Amino acid sequence: MKQIIAPSILSADFTNLERDIKAAERGGADYFHIDVMDGHFVPNISYGSIMVRTMKKITNIPLDVHLMIEDPDKYIPEFIDAGADLVIPHVEAPYDIYRSVQLINNLGAQAGVALNPGTPLCCIEPLIEQIEAVLIMSVCPGFGGQSFQPESLKKVRQLREMLDDLKPSVHVAIDGGIGRNNIQEVQRAGANFFVMGSAVFRQDDIEKTVKELKGVVESR
Ligand code: DX5
Ligand code: ZN
């Protein structure tokens, strides 16, 4: 399975966004992860589709857009129009996730689904045929720089098994507190898509950091 490094731009230096993105790109980033927060679904507000549009001007690397918002269906069309390649709403929001996934696919983007730490895997089974990635949150979503919750390793293992049975091409993505100290452990558990904010952008040499992280996951 392809190993994917997806720096989360939430931790980038916004006064030097292009510089940080280019550095991660030289390091070999495979995706850029864009965290959209609405202040309702999570207790923080980040940015909307304008960030996706801006990123598309800076980079050709695909963008995965993590929608931590209450009403994704209302905004999915504008995110795809702005250039989102992989759109990842949460299964916990008070709406029909199946409908959101269909909407994303009908608009020509790839769909993923995200699960909070307390959400069991069973609810995604009916969706698997329609999606390309499952994003396991290894922290409570809303903020960068939190500590990895080790309970998520079990979920990653179970998810990989479930996908191997049903649709092996689906990526197991992990998001929250991932870095050099635990990336191999989550990889061994079955993750192949690693979202990292502070472990990439809060480092002195972003290019070298991404190269090292890629080297670690590809050496396996
Ligand atoms: C958290 C976000 C993450 C965040 C990760 O709610 O979904 O993508 O940017 O940041 P780190 O890697 O610093 O935990
Ligand atoms: Zn995220």
Q: Which amino acid is at 107?
A: L
The model's pTM: 0.98
Q: What is the DSSP string of 103-120?
A: HHHHTT-EEEEEE-TT--
d(CA 70, CA 73): 9
Per-residue pLDDT tens over the stretch 59-78? 999 999 999 999 999 999 99
**Can you read off the two tokens belonging to residue 151?**
């309970």
Q: Which atom of ligand 1 is nearest to the CA of 179?
A: 12
Measured in Å, residue 145 CA sits from the centre of ligand 1 at 6
Per-residue pLDDT tens over the stretch 76-87? 999 999 999 999
Instruction: Kindly report the CATH number assigned to the domain that includes residue 156.
Output: 3.20.20.70
Query: Is 175 assigned a catalytic role?
Result: yes
Pocket of ligand 1 contains residue 39 by CB under 6 Å:
no
Measured in Å, residue 66 CA sits from the centre of ligand 2 at 5
Give which of 91, 191, 161 is closest to 131, Cα–Cα. 91
Instruction: Look up the domain containing 84 and give its range.
Output: 4-218
Length of the chain: 220
Per-residue pLDDT tens over the stretch 12-29? 999 999 999 999 999 999
Measured in Å, residue 34 CA sits from the centre of ligand 2 at 7
Q: Quick one: pLDDT band at residue 95, thresholds 50, 70, 90?
A: confident
Q: Which ligand is nearest to the CA of 201?
A: 1
In the prediction, which pLDDT does 93 show?
Answer: 80
In the prediction, which pLDDT does 138 show?
Answer: 98
Q: Residue 161, Cα to own-chain centre: how many angstroms?
A: 20
Residues having C-beta closer than 5 Å to ion ligand 2: 35, 66, 175
Pocket of ligand 1 contains residue 23 by CB under 6 Å:
no
d(CA 150, CA 113): 21
In the prediction, which pLDDT does 94 show?
Answer: 80
Domain count, the chain: 1
Under 8 Å between Cβ of 6 and 189: no
In the prediction, which pLDDT does 97 show?
Answer: 95
Angle at 137 between CA 146 and CA 92, to 5 degrees: 125
